[in-house]
Structure 1
Amino acid sequence: MIRHLPLAAFVALLAAGPQWLPEFHITLLNYIGLYAIVAIGLVLLTGVGGLTSFGQAAFVGLGAYTTAWLTTQFGYSPWATLLIGLALTGAVAFLLGFITLRMGGHYLPLGTIAWGISLYFLFGNVEFLGGHTGITGIPTVSLLGWELKSGDEFFYLIWLVVLLAILGVRNLLDSRQGRAIRALKGGGVMAEAMGVNTPRTKIVIFLIAALLACLSGWLYAHLQRFVSPTPFGINMGIEYLFMAVVGGIGHVWGAVLGAGLITVLKQWLQDWLPHILGQSGNFEVIVFGIAMVLVLQKARDGLWPVLLRLLPASARQRRLVDAEALPRRSPAAAGSVLLTAEGVTKRFGGLVANNNMSLSVQAGEVMALIGPNGAGKSTMFNCISAVNPASEGKIAFLGESTAKLRSRDIARRGMSRTFQHVRLLGQMSVLENVAIGAHLRGSKGVLAAALRLDRGEENRLLAEAAKQIERVGLKEHMFDAAGSLALGQQRIVEIARALASDPCLLLLDEPAAGLRYQEKQALAELLRKLRGEGMGILLVEHDMDFVMGLADRVVVMEFGEKLAEGEPEAVQRDPKVLEAYLGGVE
């Protein structure tokens, strides 16, 4: 109850604001609210999802111009134009996102700048939209018979939308879908391997950010009752991103802080800089540039995390509730073939990383893939899990060819894996990281998450994650940030994450690296137990004592080719293996 007091106080102050604040301050708060709605979308898109956009002002313009044109030219109800504007913005955002989000690196922000400029000039050069003169005479909005004519009256609607946007986005991030969104920033390879449809997830957060911007534009148009292209240019798109970054790009409340800080600072600078410098001009832009550099230098995560650090530390453990166990897949029959790879070749240009590799893994066995550094073991793993599909050869999982399957498709069929280089989301807790592995065992969508209708499923997913964490011996670290753990413990977290998907085939890439002797013994015991439950395990490892004491069969690789295969004792005596590892039998 106590943790909700700051929010209650904030809402109470907002409710009382129009009763005691001057009209100028109410106007300023209205603009802060409008900007905050857009910045909240950017927190989701850029701060959490890692997709930089400079074009959000164009979506604000779409919402504003849609309602302005339809209400003044055709007499549509403002509420009807809101629905039409959201539908139009959604369609445009889907098209632009489908094209733009395929680009990576610096091409993505450049792409958003391009269509942001294009839409801005569209607003200014289309005659029926009023050109650069704009559209006047936009009607007021009525809410339950209450006509919102003044800024004081509109204030409540704007801030109601802000609070609802915050609530919806926070609910979304605290869910299965939210973990999928957070996984985007950790790289698509890990997310796809856990079953996350990364292209669809990117489109979803792009649409949400665009729709929030459209809603802000609709509110702006009916607050001002006039629109022109100027507020929807690329400079405003950059300013929205500034707000999100300064406030705290990964924090929803940071969007409100950033919007408030930059709006107030901008107003103050516009009033005082001409008096200080003795001449007029856009000098505030220079100050903003300097301030942005300082913020990025001193507080890269924004100002909201700085404020949080000043407050008394509070326990952040989430309460786990008893929940019904998730359904499990039927185990494969002992000895049945789970995976076959025949003649697998992988080329990277002129480099042949794997050449004519073949192996198989059965249910209830541990198959070890060993070899010197650079032998192509991890590349073979990536071919099997479709991270980097093979150039030639055949790979079949559960009797089905994987040639046309993506990583997430293979994960859905029951294959899970860890990585040679640990891929965890360091700022998220161990519990949340492991819960990503159970992504495919849930089905609730974005809307259910935003409306908090997914709690039953969410409790079951978290209970499964907690079960796997306890299974691998990390119960005491369940609520610790994954990035705070030692490297060996992080590898164990990856195993727990893979187990949360309920696989029938487990691919482990150097799981014992960084573990102490007792930890290795505990890991070996866990893998023996999994083998006894009928799970197939394909293992890449350099610790020969660990491998030879655990594996049922061993495949040795050298220079991308199979050098030997057999039971551990036979492989250890093979002259070719001794040559590869020790330089000769003698």
Structure 2
Amino acid sequence: MNQRLVLVAFAALLAIVPLIPGMPVFWVTLLGNVGLAALVAIGLVLLTGVGGMTSFGQAAFCGFGAYATAVLTATHGWSPWQALPVALVVSGFAAVVLGLITVRLSGHFLPLGTMAWGLSLYYLFGKIEMLGRHDGISGIPPLSVFGISLADPRAAHYLIWTVVIGAAILTTHLLDSRIGRAIRALRRGQIAAESFGIDVARTKLIVFVYAALLAGLSGWLYAHVQRTVTPAPFGLNAGIEYLFMAVVGGAGQIWGAIVGAGLVTLLKEALQRVVPSLFGTSVQLEGVVFGIALVALLQVAREGLWPHLVRLLPARQRAAPRPADPLARRAPVAGTDSALETGRGEALLVLDQARKQFGGLVAVNDVSFKVRRGEIVALIGPNGAGKSTTFNLITGVAALTAGTVRYDGVEISGTSPRVIARHGVARTFQHVKLNPDMTVLENVALGAHLRGRAGILAAMLRLDRRDEARLLAEAAHQIERIGLAEHMMKPAGSLALGQQRMVEIARALAMDPELLLLDEPAAGLRHFEKTALADLLDRLRAEGMSVLLVEHDMGFVMGLTDHIVVLDFGTKIAEGPPEAIKTHPAVLEAYLGGAA
């Protein structure tokens, strides 16, 4: 039985539960509460588990949705379905306003920020007269579908779980797309994501708003199921519980959100009944036992429950795409081979007096050099010479203190890595920056992000399949190109370091760059792998691509490059063809010392 059949069986069970003879309404209502919580937890899985942005304030967005529909329906006579889009707009608008402030935070400041506005909004809900202050709003009309009232919890059960399963399917579709890969890339740091063209700030805001909309939808359902709204369910404690649900189910698992919501909700309900009977009502120990139980559970299943459940099922092998019908290639100069040959030798990248200071430390000292079309240039020097800092200046990761960087006649100094990537500049990193949980294919497909066009709605509705197939075909083509086709569907974290470096090169090539920047590409590679890498770079040069590489393996550099630039303590000390650099006195002194 595979995962899909399990989900079908789960949906069938949900459909049968209210029809079981003698089933108490209490249990049906409790199951509905699990669904309402799962809806919020699905958004948190995307926001926290996948996107890496911890939020304790999702309950406040439930409050926005619940209070918006309560005011419109109970006070102004709107129907619940008329109030639904308004509730979502209110939740979404609040998420945009709070997200523009919050998602820019990093580290522990982000969760602290969500706690701050979560507490503030809870107290705000209890102070506004229009919202009934702490007494809340009652008399909210029940939902109805095609004239059938859903006031009975058994009837509301079907609507709640239809929405929950629909949201889970749409969110799963979203993750299995170009936008989904961009979201997953956020966890590995924004520098790498920006370097292959992802708009990190926009992607973070999209995830933040999406999670808020799911919470607002849960709040709308809650208001019409409970028929009354007070501030109590939308406080910080509820926000912490929602986060527990996402983590317990599996921080990066969409369907795990339902498992986590069910376990936490049922455990909390059971403890409220069992603990007082064991210890009496004089001391409230439910919260203490609840916390201990969750900590113990996470000690046993640190990845959450869903991955453990999935391991009990036969693994579903996903077929690797054929490396056919690749995306159109960038024309380096014009659209013809003759134009390519004509363009060879022209300066593509020009550094003019590039300087970078960190306080009183000069890391790059007025360095100037050029990379011409169709040539391989090496940037070499001892450790601490400023090579990687120079790479960061070229790619916009670090800002110039003085000087300029021009690419194809356009000044790119002061622009972001994302903008520079759009110009056709791709790079790898000194320390490998792959997502170890994503497959090799998915990691390489991230490089083709700018070459796709499908947006978030197309991804959720599966209207992006043709575009997605072309991006994956391009990724498969580049993986075959580097000789790792048999590892295409493996997690990138399972590969050796040398293979991971090759995957980074494939990801950069998927961008179809004109200029490829490689930061120590041969580090960790065995001899035959270095030979294969040299052959690949030689082919790229023949195709008209320019390459700038930082490398410590002098044998690799001398046998491959057309031109070498040597740095020492941030200053250019030599420049020229490999033959001249081998015997240059300043180079020998920098590497071997003055006596040598």
The alignment's TM-score, normalised by the length of structure 2, stands at: 0.96
Match of 2:96 among 74, 94, 97: 94
Partner Cα distance (1:228, 1:243) in 2:
22
Q: Does 2:230 match 1:228?
A: yes
Q: Give the drift of 1:319.
A: 4.5
Match of 1:365 among 363, 369, 375: 375
Q: Does 2:404 match 1:394?
A: yes
Q: Give the drift of 1:197.
A: 0.2
Output aligned runs, 1:327-338, within 5 Å.
327-332=328-333, 333-338=343-348
**Helix, strand or coil for the counterpart of 1:520?**
helix
| 1:426–1:2 CA distance, 2 compared to 1 (3 A) | closer
Tell me which residue corresponds to 2:297.
Answer: 295
Tell me which residue corresponds to 1:317.
Answer: 318
Partner Cα distance (1:81, 1:348) in 2:
55
> How far does the alpha carbon of each residue in 1:371-402 deviate from its partner, in whole angstroms, 9 at most, with x for none?
00110100000000001121111001111111
Q: Does 2:579 match 1:579?
A: no
Match of 2:436 among 426, 431, 438: 426
Contact 2:3 2:310 in 1 (8 A): no
Amino acid at match of 2:264: I
Output aligned runs, 1:459-498, within 5 Å.
459-498=469-508
| 1:540–1:319 CA distance, 2 compared to 1 (3 A) | closer
> How far does the alpha carbon of each residue in 1:62-99 deviate from its partner, in whole angstroms, 9 at most, with x for none?
10011111111111111111100111111111010001
**Helix, strand or coil for the counterpart of 2:573?**
strand
Output aligned runs, 1:106-505, within 5 Å.
106-312=108-314, 314-320=315-321, 324-332=325-333, 333-505=343-515
Contact 2:400 2:414 in 1 (8 A): no
Contact 2:566 2:573 in 1 (8 A): yes
Matched residue count? 585
**Helix, strand or coil for the counterpart of 1:318?**
coil
**Helix, strand or coil for the counterpart of 2:255?**
helix
Amino acid at match of 2:570: G
Tell me which residue corresponds to 1:554.
Answer: 564
Q: Give the drift of 1:323.
A: 5.8
| 1:322–1:194 CA distance, 2 compared to 1 (3 A) | closer
Partner Cα distance (1:69, 1:191) in 2:
42
Partner Cα distance (1:31, 1:44) in 2:
21
Tell me which residue corresponds to 1:5.
Answer: 5
Q: Give the drift of 1:326.
A: 1.3
Q: Give the drift of 1:334.
A: 1.5
Contact 2:324 2:474 in 1 (8 A): no
Deviates more, 1:442-451 or 1:286-295: 286-295
Q: Give the drift of 1:39.
A: 0.2
| 1:273–1:135 CA distance, 2 compared to 1 (3 A) | same
Gaps of 5+ in 2: 334-342
Amino acid at match of 1:284: E
Partner Cα distance (2:163, 2:282) in 1:
36
> How far does the alpha carbon of each residue in 1:483-502 deviate from its partner, in whole angstroms, 9 at most, with x for none?
01000000000000000000
Q: Give the drift of 1:238.
A: 0.5
Amino acid at match of 1:324: D
Q: Give the drift of 1:344.
A: 0.7
**Helix, strand or coil for the counterpart of 2:378?**
strand
Deviates more, 1:292-301 or 1:334-343: 292-301
Partner Cα distance (1:470, 1:319) in 2:
12
Q: Give the drift of 1:244.
A: 0.6
Amino acid at match of 2:230: S
Tell me which residue corresponds to 2:14.
Answer: 14
Partner Cα distance (2:226, 2:318) in 1:
45
Amino acid at match of 1:114: A
Contact 1:555 1:565 in 2 (8 A): yes
Contact 2:46 2:252 in 1 (8 A): yes
Partner Cα distance (1:326, 1:137) in 2:
58
> How far does the alpha carbon of each residue in 1:345-381 deviate from its partner, in whole angstroms, 9 at most, with x for none?
1112222111101111111100000000110100000
**Helix, strand or coil for the counterpart of 1:18?**
helix
Amino acid at match of 2:522: A
Contact 2:380 2:387 in 1 (8 A): yes
Partner Cα distance (1:374, 1:315) in 2:
47
% of aligned pairs identical?
60
Q: Give the drift of 1:315.
A: 4.0
Contact 1:69 1:135 in 2 (8 A): yes
Q: Give the drift of 1:282.
A: 3.8
Amino acid at match of 2:220: W
Contact 1:54 1:109 in 2 (8 A): yes
Amino acid at match of 1:68: A
Q: Give the drift of 1:308.
A: 2.0
Deviates more, 1:532-541 or 1:341-350: 341-350
Q: Does 2:521 match 1:511?
A: yes
Amino acid at match of 2:73: T
The root-mean-square deviation of aligned C-alpha atoms, in Å, is 1.2
Moved over 4 A (4+): none
Amino acid at match of 1:449: A
Deviates more, 1:229-238 or 1:138-147: 138-147
> How far does the alpha carbon of each residue in 1:259-286 deviate from its partner, in whole angstroms, 9 at most, with x for none?
0001111111000100100225542211
Contact 1:340 1:396 in 2 (8 A): yes
Contact 2:2 2:313 in 1 (8 A): no
**Helix, strand or coil for the counterpart of 1:103?**
coil
